[in-house]
Amino acid sequence: MNKLIQLAQIVEECTSGGFILTANDDKDTKISLLYDLIINGKIVNDDDVFVYLYEGQKKVESLKKLKLRLKRRLYNLLLLLDSESARFTERMKAIHEINRRWTLFSMVFYRTNTILSLDIAESTINKSIKFEATEHTVFFSKHLAKQYGYVAPNKVKYKKYLAIYEKYTTLLQKELIIEGYYIKISTRHVANKEEITEVFKNDVKVCCDHYLEISKNFESFSLDWHGKQLVSFYHTIMDDNEKLIETCENALISFSNKPYFSLIAKQTFSKDLIKAYFNQNRFNDVRKIVNENISILTPYNNPWLINKNLLFFSYSFESNFNDLHKTIHPVLSKKVQVQYPENYQSWLIKEAYVNILIAFDKVDKEVLKAYPPRNFRLSKFLNEVPKYSSDKKGQNTSILIAQMLLLLINKKYDKILDRLDALNQYCHRYLKNDDTLRANCFIKMLLKLPDADYHPVRVTRYVTKFQKKLKNKPRTFSNQFFQSEIIDYEILWEFVIELLEKQRRR
């Protein structure tokens, strides 16, 4: 069902919400109803369909056929969509149109209609050259050179298209070499999770050096998009922020100078540039890029949410809790909940921490008046994040910490005691690696609160060794969407001590 939901959302986005699936018979009526239910957020899984369309009966085979018919209908519709009316960037529109013409050419050519196929190829090849669709250019120029060479001889056109074919065949070979490097390195790093050893670094460097050599004489979208990412990745694993910034800034300039706009190029190199800016605490520069991205993205789609996430953490790292609170408001919508349920749950975790900050009096009253927080209950929150509650090494850590802080704020000392053994075992079992050291230390600091009878001075003595460990391993930014350290642990500990002092004075 998830794939069908995504397909329906693509159609809805491409038609700007103006598509209505018409029904000609009873079977079509059910297809139309299923599409409407999906678009209106009523369908999440097969069980929902059984309730709405089959009166609760689990007609598995009937549903299977219904989903298949709707999928075919939507796929056919996508082929017929006018790319100019879709929410595509200029290059995406062009590639969409070139692909359609490629399909059209094949249909006409294999029906032996030479005149029409030549017309399609000649009217498309200039667009494929302009938008650097090298593979398409090779395809069309090959057929045109063949046709004007000996099928329908024309010396001038034959020489023209043969020259294009030879030039772009060579370019395509270079593109495929660099793309092959990109695939192999990405597989080793992402899928195989290969350790960043000197051997791995050297392999990446060899790929980068070959790309840089090729780029002296060749240039194209695919070549530079894959090659510059390899160079960017190399500087990342070498922890060379200055080189990373230089590479990403040059890449953005290079792609902006092309005769078309490419969103994927902008997003790709902006992401790496943002990471470098985070590493240098250049949060205003982060927000400049992020806000520019948000302004051109479709609200509530995945790229928009990724940039909102970056905006949130730029405020988090800067301890700007007023703007942190403001960032939460636009994201927690029904649309995000339905289309991106896991993403939505991650924002619920962020909202929990904002509520903790509000309880610590760290968000101004004026801001709360202008942006009223939603009603928040710990029990409801824990029920709304099932995906991350079971993720023992990721967001589960942030949920457990939030739960402890909220129990402390509400003086639920008995419940804190009830959780001590489980949290100790959790730390021992799941937080043993270097990348979980900070979470391990902070949880153990919280576990010392009952030992110190919640006395601010006493507990400060008990946690000295953990504070030193936190200081020796500062918080760092990760390009991963999900980050367990929502608010800096040292900052949160300061607020805990402030709270204990206030409670002591009362």
Percentage of the chain exceeding pLDDT 90: 60
Whether residues 471 and 502 share a domain: the answer is: yes
- How far apart CA 41 and CA 339 sit, in angstroms, is 8
Whether residues 441 and 389 share a domain: the answer is: yes
SS3 content of the chain, % helix, strand, coil (to 5): 75, 0, 25
pLDDT reported for residue 393 = 60
pLDDT reported for residue 432 = 84
Whether residues 132 and 68 share a domain: the answer is: no
Range with lowest mean pLDDT among 176-185, 391-400, 481-490: 391-400
pLDDT digits (tens, 9 = 90+) for 279-334: 899 999 999 999 999 998 888 888 899 999 999 999 999 999 999 999 998 898 87
- How far apart CA 125 and CA 147 sit, in angstroms, is 15
Give phi and psi for 15, each to the nearest 5: -100, 10
- How far apart CA 342 and CA 395 sit, in angstroms, is 11
Torsion sign over Cα 360, 364, 365, 367: negative
* Band (115; pLDDT cuts 50, 70, 90): confident
Range with lowest mean pLDDT among 125-134, 196-205, 422-431: 422-431
Q: Which two tokens mark 28?
A: 């079509």
- How far apart CA 16 and CA 22 sit, in angstroms, is 17
Percentage of the chain exceeding pLDDT 70: 92
Q: What is the DSSP letter of 280?
A: T
Among 496, 428, 410, which residue's Cα sits nearest to residue 460? 496
Mean pLDDT, range 14-37, rounded to an integer:
69
Is the pLDDT at 238 greater than 70? The verdict is: yes
Asked, for residue 303, whether it belongs to a domain, the answer is no
Domain count across the chain: 3
Integer angstrom CA distances of residue 229 from 224, 249, 280, 403, 475? 8, 12, 20, 40, 26
Whether residues 368 and 476 share a domain: the answer is: yes
Whether residues 419 and 453 share a domain: the answer is: yes
- How far apart CA 74 and CA 63 sit, in angstroms, is 16
CB atoms < 10 A from the CB of 435, how many? 12
Is the pLDDT at 437 greater than 80? The verdict is: yes
Whether residues 416 and 476 share a domain: the answer is: yes
- How far apart CA 413 and CA 314 sit, in angstroms, is 34
Those residues with Cβ within 8 angstroms of residue 210's Cβ, 6 or more apart along the chain or in another chain? 177, 178, 181
Is the pLDDT at 83 greater than 60? The verdict is: no
Residue 96: domain span? 90-174
Whether residues 9 and 145 share a domain: the answer is: no
Amino acid at position 46, single letter: D
Domain boundary among 130, 159, 174: 174
pLDDT digits (tens, 9 = 90+) for 447-496: 999 999 999 999 999 999 999 999 999 998 876 656 789 999 999 999 99
pLDDT reported for residue 116 = 86
Whether residues 105 and 133 share a domain: the answer is: yes
CB atoms < 10 A from the CB of 300, how many? 18
Kindly report the pTM of this predicted structure: 0.75
Domain boundary among 132, 155, 174: 174
Whether residues 17 and 160 share a domain: the answer is: no
Asked, for residue 426, whether it belongs to a domain, the answer is yes
Beta carbons of 92 and 263 less than 8 angstroms apart: yes
Whether residues 33 and 160 share a domain: the answer is: no
Whether residues 76 and 94 share a domain: the answer is: no
Is the pLDDT at 82 greater than 70? The verdict is: no
pLDDT digits (tens, 9 = 90+) for 218-229: 999 999 999 999
pLDDT reported for residue 32 = 86
